[in-house]
Structure 1
Amino acid sequence: MNRTDRLLGVLLELQRRKRVRAEDLAATFETSKRTIYRDIQALCETGVPIIAQAGLGYSLVEGYFLPPLSFSVDEATMLLLGSSFAAQSFDAQYRDAADSASRKIEAVLSADQREDVAYVQNSIALIASDSLEQSATKQLLSQLRRAIIERRTVRFHYHTRYPQDGQIPRNTREADPYGLVHFGGAWYLISFCHLRQANRNFKLDRMSELNLLEQTFQRPANFSMQSPKAERRNLTVQVLFDAEVAPWVKELRGFFVSEMRETPYGLLVTLQLHTEDEVVPWLLSWGYHVRVIEPQSVRKRIAEEAEKILQQYTAAKPRMKR
């Protein structure tokens, strides 16, 4: 951190807290107390009214307020809630940035605003559904962010969701990473896939052995993360859910759902997919509450898997080793 940034940071800390000690400031900015003493002196020389109290620390003269920005209580609350959620959802680099941003936002609020914002914050919680600390996604996220910034093509192994012959197939892909999306508790890479020669979304949980290549790319000028170009999903699957589970199906609506329609027989759902493998496990999870209308190939796959499940429970009970 350069001296200018640190001086502003010290001023914001003094504004955010009623009183702060030199050793606490030194720890916050990862520097020495001697450096903090010099920073305090520099701020005083520029006209900032700082009071030094032996054994207690430093404080600003009551009533001194230097807001670089002005926020309403609602604006500050939304920014702080969003920052808190981002801190939970990203890796250490962006988590630290989110925490730093929160401190700066709090610093520009008046005492009354801080009290109001704190009360609302304690009434609303945005909790990330996954933990990067517990998964390999943390490292992938960091690597992919770097690849996106440096505009470098990546190579990785991608594991399909559905096993074949008792094995989880994987293939090697090369892709130009355009962006990252957090959706439904999981991270997805939005990219141009060299193999398919089309835009593809890859779930980070199913990626491994990621490498950044020296090859670079240019992201299309008209690309937007707010409305990324839709993938070509050429497989249409229609399924009918029982009315009793329809509310839960609606809650779990995914990006592959193109239409939902209430009928006298239940909830008719139309899915747009790349392959059958994307949807078979999901449909099986609903048991007898769902029926595939079309295509016939998916109906056959579901029937085959159901038969295998039946065999698991009707076969002789395996002996467990003690």
Structure 2
Amino acid sequence: MNDHYLKKLDRVTAILTQLQSRPLVRAQDLAEKFEVSIRTIYRDVKTLENAGIPILGEAGSGYSLMDGYKLPPIMFTKEEVLSFITAEKLMQRYSHQSLGSHYQTAMEKVRSVLKNSDKNLIQTVEKQVDIFNYHAPTTDSIKNIIPTILESIAEKTQLSIEYKSIDSKVSNRMIEAVGVFLEFNYWYIMAFCTLRKDFRQFRVDRILQVAKTHNPFSQEYGGINDYRRNSKNEVTKVKLLVEKKIMNHLANAKKYYGLIEEVETDEGMLLTFETEWIKDGFPRWLITFADYAVILEPEILKVRLRDLINDISERYKDIQTKRL
């Protein structure tokens, strides 16, 4: 069997896996995934149909397997089996506590269908992989809170929550959840708040009570990142000239603090930001690498950074004086 037919066999098998795992699969998505033309996908689907697989749908609308059709258990490759180990370790360290036990039982079911040789492979390697997390996990008073939120999104029903703000004020809100996300070791809900008539994000560990209601909502919301990017708060443009040697240390944080452009110059990296935190958050982050950066604009940031440095210097002078 030549290389062309081996690739086709692998692709057709992978398409069948996609059909088993999703209610509807578009030819365009499959073409992008396998980096082939849509016409090739049409031929692959026809190959499956000729093999007796009952596929519903047609080109242009999407494909699905006939309801109730069952296939033998999927066989995993060695590489896929080894990937489970890393996935488990990541879930143990970074998963929200309300999801961890559910993921563990799901993985036990996956392990139950593995060949004995694959089970032995996992047992041999799993102690050789670990994930080190230097942040203390957050704790919640509500069991299964994230599954409850996700159920409300799937069912399109409003949630009633009791929420404690950062200044310890407690309020009752009715929200329409758009999604959840993890950021800097905290889980958040992005939701439409019916009280504020606007989108808000709520930190999950500050939710004191949560309940699904019978109130449906019909609004079709976009992806969660659409709402995280489209802030209505006032933003300030910042330009920094940063030495190239420290750019790797800013890899994750620079986007969080509003990076919109990055240009390499002879003098260093010219970084442009749009930030909502010009008075506090941004200058406090900048101070961690200020000896490698020059503020080009705005003037307000230069003044704020100078004030912060002076405050820190005065504090340590006072401490030193008291010790003497």
Shorter-chain TM range is 0.5 to 0.7
Measured after TM superposition, the shift of residue 108 of structure 1 is: 0.9
CA deviation profile, 1:255-309 (whole Å, cap 9, x unmatched): 3322222222222222222232331221122242233322222222112212212
TM-score, normalised to structure 1, is 0.60
8 Å CA contact retained: 1:243, 1:266: yes
Q: Which residues of 2 match residues 305-316 of structure 1 at below 5 A? A: 305-315=308-318
- Matched pairs, number: 241
Question: Would you say 1:245 and 2:246 are equivalent positions?
Answer: yes
Distance change in 2, residues 1:238/1:86 (3 Å): same
Alignment match, 1:208: 206
Question: Would you say 1:181 and 2:184 are equivalent positions?
Answer: no
CA deviation profile, 1:140-172 (whole Å, cap 9, x unmatched): 78545534534314353443xxxxxxxxx6777
8 Å CA contact retained: 1:87, 1:96: no
Q: Residue 222 of structure 2: SS of its match in structure 1?
A: coil
CA deviation profile, 1:65-117 (whole Å, cap 9, x unmatched): x9743222222332343233223333444222122122221111111222334
Distance change in 2, residues 1:230/1:194 (3 Å): farther
- Structure 1: gaps spanning 5 or more residues: 1-65, 160-168
Measured after TM superposition, the shift of residue 211 of structure 1 is: 4.2
Alignment match, 2:222: 223
Q: Distance in 2 between matches of 1:94 and 1:177?
A: 18
Alignment match, 2:101: 96
From 78, 83, 87, give the equivalent of 1:82. 87
Amino acid at match of 2:239: Q
Distance change in 2, residues 1:114/1:120 (3 Å): same
Q: Distance in 2 between matches of 1:280 and 1:198?
A: 28
Let me know the Cα RMSD of the aligned residues.
3.6
Q: Distance in 1 between matches of 2:113 and 2:130?
A: 22
More moved, 146-155 vs 303-312: 146-155
Question: Would you say 1:261 and 2:266 are equivalent positions?
Answer: no
- Structure 2: gaps spanning 5 or more residues: 1-70, 153-157
Task: Give the structure with higher Rg (CA).
Answer: 1
Q: Distance in 2 between matches of 1:265 and 1:196?
A: 47
Q: Which residues of 2 match residues 149-168 of structure 1 at below 5 A? A: 149-150=151-152, 151-159=158-166
TM-score, normalised to structure 2, is 0.59
Measured after TM superposition, the shift of residue 179 of structure 1 is: 2.0
Q: Residue 104 of structure 1: SS of its match in structure 2?
A: helix
Q: Which residues of 2 match residues 282-321 of structure 1 at below 5 A? A: 282-315=285-318, 317=320, 319=322
8 Å CA contact retained: 1:89, 1:130: no
Q: Distance in 2 between matches of 1:214 and 1:117?
A: 39
Q: Distance in 2 between matches of 1:297 and 1:195?
A: 34
Q: Residue 190 of structure 1: SS of its match in structure 2?
A: strand
Measured after TM superposition, the shift of residue 123 of structure 1 is: 4.7
Measured after TM superposition, the shift of residue 319 of structure 1 is: 3.4
Q: Residue 279 of structure 1: SS of its match in structure 2?
A: helix
Alignment match, 1:107: 112
